[in-house]
Amino acid sequence: MADVRVQAEVRDLTRIERIGAHSHIRGLGLDDALEARKVSQGMVGQNRARKAAGVILQMIKEGKIAGRAVLLAGQPGTGKTAIAMGMAKALGEETPFAMMASSEIFSLEMSKTEALTQAFRKAIGVRIKEETEIIEGEVVEIEIDRPEAGNVSKTGKLTLKTTEMETIYDLGQKMIESLLKEKVSAGDVITIDKASGRISRLGRSFTRSRDYDAMGPQTRFVQCPEGELQKRKEVVHVVTLHEIDVINSRTQGFLALFSGDTGEIRHEVREQIDLKVAEWREEGKAEIVPGVLFIDEVHMLDIECFSFLNRALENDMAPVLVVATNRGITKIRGTQYKSPHGIPIDLLDRLLIISTEPYSEKEIRLILDIRCEEEDVEMTDDAKELLTKIGFETSLRYAIQLITAASIVCMKRKATEVDIEDIGKVYSMFVDVKRSTQFMMEYQEQYMYNEVPEAVPAAPASDPMES
């Protein structure tokens, strides 16, 4: 590998937005003093945890701390994942946020430590400054010569001007194609990247605004550039270390970034990249942007992974690690020992712990309001009240799931607003965990692999001593 390549284009992927479990979360909903607003950016309640997350975010933005770790701990459905998503949204485009579920490390294709290393490197950005030479000017004239008989490649001339000068450039086949593709015509202000030959149209020159009437409302007018035609321009882009790794690992190439099928990356590749990045940092060409690595359901990691995390956090390029779990005191995977959250004490000691609390009925109502809006479901107040009760008695998740189901039932009866009867219908159609457990307790003998009697010796029906 002669040189470390960085491809900026891979970041321009567009995502298709679907309504997911957390799509209503647009941030943490904090004010400038980091106080949680009651309802903001899709977030409701959980004020202390949100504020704490805001403080962590501030630390991340200042970029000073490396290798800090935060644990979001609390009962199921109390918004731990939601808060992590809020942090991701609040961080903005530039700071990388990588997220993974702990179970992802149990893949057959790569070792656990490789999976974790990749996750860490996805959370570390490199801001790279590059100076490129460009030609920027207003198009005066494009002349494309007719190819002579027997000659396929076209040639031509392009006249560009600034307010001070005018120059004629010779055009080759490739440039002509790009000009045609960009639909460049006289009066456009364009830039040509000298290294790649890429042409971009900035807009139409103000001087042409009068004599051109076939313009749509989208036409953008710009000033004719001043000064010289050739300019140096600084472009800044942020790529993650993982992206650089993948692009430079010869077996995969950057296409692996699209398929996600990166496989293991050789140690030497990473070493070389780290050296190169350190060199760039010294030369002032690059800066490290530590981001956030979020590992959900962290109790699924095992002792090897935890020990990896311990060490990885000590690296000075380490991102901020945010982990979440809903477990209490439980066995650490891969050992016989129990510990709080299933996390070894030495790692636990490095974590700042944010705990989340169960929601009040009022807060559940507000979250359901937001979800109805997100899912475009009209619902009467009575129905919402009932759904809130259901959410409070069973779980917030269950209530959220009923929204879509109820709206389908409502559509079937050709109504536009979900009412109590629809909620009632889906409530009996889909059982929640409590009712399901109840049902299991009653009818367990009729199911296969029924093991409950052993586990719950107190169950009176199956107690042989009583009969």
Ligand X SMILES: Nc1ncnc2c1ncn2[C@@H]1O[C@H](COP(=O)(O)OP(=O)(O)OP(=O)(O)O)[C@@H](O)[C@H]1O
Q: Interface residues with ligand X (CB under 6 A)?
A: 21-22, 25, 42-46, 74, 76-82, 326, 367, 396-397, 400
410 binds, among Mg ion, ligand X, none (CB under 5 to 8 A by kind): none
Q: Which is nearer to ligand X, 75 or 132 (CB)?
A: 75
Q: Which C-beta is closer to ligand X: that of 288 or that of 423?
A: 423
Contacts of 170 (CB under 8 A, 6+ apart): 155, 156, 157
Residue nearest to ligand X (CB): 79
Q: How far is the CB of 116 from Mg ion (least distance, A)?
A: 19
Q: Which does 299 bind (CB under 5 to 8 A by kind): ligand X, Mg ion, none?
A: none
240 binds, among Mg ion, ligand X, none (CB under 5 to 8 A by kind): none
The strand pairing partners of 101, in sequence order, are 296
CA dist 56 and 51 (Å) reads 9
Question: Nearer to Mg ion by C-beta: 104 or 378?
Answer: 104
Rounded to a whole number of angstroms, the minimum distance from the CB of residue 82 to ligand X is 3
76 binds, among Mg ion, ligand X, none (CB under 5 to 8 A by kind): ligand X
List residues binding Mg ion (CB under 5 A). Answer: 81
Shortest separation between residue 218's beta carbon and Mg ion, angstroms: 43
What, of Mg ion, ligand X, none, does residue 367 touch, CB below 5 to 8 Å by kind? ligand X
Out of Mg ion, ligand X, none, what residue 117 binds, judged by CB under 5 to 8 A for its kind, is none
Give me 235's structure tokens. Answer: 């472009």
Contact partner, 187, from Mg ion, ligand X, none, Cβ < 5-8 Å per class? none
User: Residue 395 Cβ, how far from ligand X at the closest point, in Å?
Assistant: 8
CB-based contacts of 269: which residues, under 8 Å, 6+ apart? 1, 245, 248, 249
Nearest CB to ligand X, comparing residues 187 and 391: 391
Question: Is 84 or 238 the residue whose CB approaches ligand X more closely?
Answer: 84
Of 162 and 325, the one with the shorter C-beta distance to Mg ion is 325
Nearer to ligand X, 25 or 56 (CB): 25
Minimum Å distance from CB 324 to Mg ion? 6
Cβ of 197: how many Cβ atoms within 10 Å?
11
Long-range (24+ apart) CB contacts under 8 A made by 29-36 are: 29/86, 30/54, 30/90, 34/58
54 binds, among Mg ion, ligand X, none (CB under 5 to 8 A by kind): none
* Start-to-end C-alpha separation, the chain: 78
Query: Measured from the CB atom, is 294 or 308 closer to Mg ion?
Result: 294
Q: How many CB atoms lie within 10 A of CB 40?
A: 15
b/e 159-193 (16+ beta carbons within 10 angstroms → b): bbbbeeeeeeeebeeebbebbeeeebeebbbbbbe
| Shortest separation between residue 225's beta carbon and Mg ion, angstroms | 52
Minimum CB separation of residue 16 from ligand X in Å reads 19
What residue 45 binds from ligand X, Mg ion, none (CB within 5 to 8 A, per partner kind)?
ligand X
Residue sitting closest to Mg ion (CB): 81
Which C-beta is closer to Mg ion: that of 22 or that of 384? Answer: 22
CB of 401 to ligand X, least distance (A): 9
The nearer residue to ligand X, 171 or 406, going by C-beta atoms, is 406
Residue 391 contacts which entry, Mg ion, ligand X, none (Cβ below 5-8 A, type-dependent): none
Give me the least distance between CB of 124 and Mg ion, in Å please. 24
Smallest gap from residue 21 Cβ to Mg ion (A):
9
